[in-house]
């Protein structure tokens, strides 16, 4: 299998590539959307700000090809950190900006409770639902986070994991062939590498993406508070 790492001028691509290679993947970094036809899996990394990243994805000609290949052709995509947030409809970092719109939802700033500090930096637990990408990862395993914003999916069905900080925020989302983790699997030691290995054998799920005929619900209000894994 061959994993395309989307290079849009942001983020720490080397460590993602190294981690994927450690998991046995043939991983290549590309700044050319035409290469999407040569891969079995896509990795959307990201360290950076939402607006800048979307602008760079647009300039690089990635937006439409990514939507098509993930939503219509069901090629599995893993978005990491900002890469997960970019899957949303809208991001609120640095103004209101449209995202890729692959998983309906909104990206908003974390709201600290009591004396919690923002950004949320360090190791925290993930309470995850049954999903192939979490096979072999015990519930409440610690993984590495470094972020100030979080994804609120419009559809609670898309929530794959939550993490106890700022109340509970959504730390993994999944819909069809698209999956996103707010944490960094490539920096999360053995649990992170296990998630990457699971991704490499994952074929995505066919139904329910934004481009399907069925009308998907748009963002209404945060479902997070009511959800407990």
Just list the catalytic residues.
Answer: 81, 184, 186
Selected binder of other proteins within 49, 65, 74, 131 (CB under 8 A): 49
CB–CB of 64/118 below 8 Å? Answer: no
Closest to other proteins by CB, 124 vs 210, is 124
Instruction: Note whether 91 and 57 are within 8 A (CB).
Output: no
Does 11 engage in binding with other proteins (CB under 8 A)? yes
Query: Does 186 sit near other proteins (CB under 8 A)?
Result: yes
State both tokens at 138: 């015990």
Of 59, 148, 211, 212, the one binding other proteins (CB under 8 A) is 148
Residue 118 within binding range of other proteins, rule CB under 8 A = yes
CA distance 181 to 39: 21
- Asked if 132 is part of the footprint of other proteins (rule: CB under 8 A), the reply reads no
Please tell me what DSSP assigns to residue 207: S
Residue 129 in tokens: 């639902």
Q: How many CB atoms neighbour CB 55 within 10 A? A: 14
Should residue 111 be labelled a site residue for other proteins when binding is judged by CB under 8 A? Answer: no
Among 189, 201, 211, 212, binds other proteins (CB under 8 A): 189
Is residue 83 packed enough to be buried (19+ CB in 10 Å), middle (13-18) or exposed (0-12)?
A: buried
The site for other proteins, by CB under 8 A, has a size of 40
Hey, how many other C-beta atoms are within 10 angstroms of the C-beta on 25?
Answer: 21
- Residue 119: asked if its preceding bond is cis (omega within 30°), the reply is yes
Residue 12 in the binding site for other proteins (CB under 8 A): yes
| Interacting residue ranges for other proteins, rule: CB under 8 A | 10-15, 18-19, 22, 47-49, 52, 82, 93-94, 112, 116-125, 142, 144, 146-148, 164-165, 184, 186-187, 189-190, 193
């Amino acid at each position: 299998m061959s994993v395309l790492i989307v290079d849009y001028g942001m983020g720490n691509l080397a460590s993602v590539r190294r981690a994927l290679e450690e998991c046995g993947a043939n991983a290549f970094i590309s700044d050319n959307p035409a290469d999407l036809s040569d891969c079995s899996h896509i990795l959307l990394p990201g360290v950076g700000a939402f607006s800048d990243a979307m602008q760079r994805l647009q300039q690089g000609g990635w937006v439409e090809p990514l939507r098509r290949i993930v939503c219509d052709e069901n090629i599995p995509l893993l978005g990491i950190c900002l890469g997960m947030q970019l899957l949303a409809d809208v991001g609120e970092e640095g103004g209101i900006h449209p995202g890729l719109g692959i998983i309906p939802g909104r990206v908003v700033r974390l709201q600290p409770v009591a004396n919690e500090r923002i950004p949320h930096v360090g190791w925290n637990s993930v309470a995850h639902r049954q999903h192939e990408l979490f096979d072999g990862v015990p519930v409440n395993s610690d993984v590495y986070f470094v972020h100030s914003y979080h994804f609120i999916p419009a559809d609670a069905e898309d929530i794959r994991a939550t993490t106890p900080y700022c109340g509970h925020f959504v730390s993994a989302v999944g819909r069809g062939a698209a999956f996103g983790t707010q944490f960094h699997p490539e920096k999360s030691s053995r649990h992170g590498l296990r998630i990457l290995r699971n991704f490499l054998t994952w074929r995505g799920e066919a139904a329910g993406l934004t481009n399907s005929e069925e009308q998907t619900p748009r963002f209404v209000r945060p479902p997070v508070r009511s959800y407990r894994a």
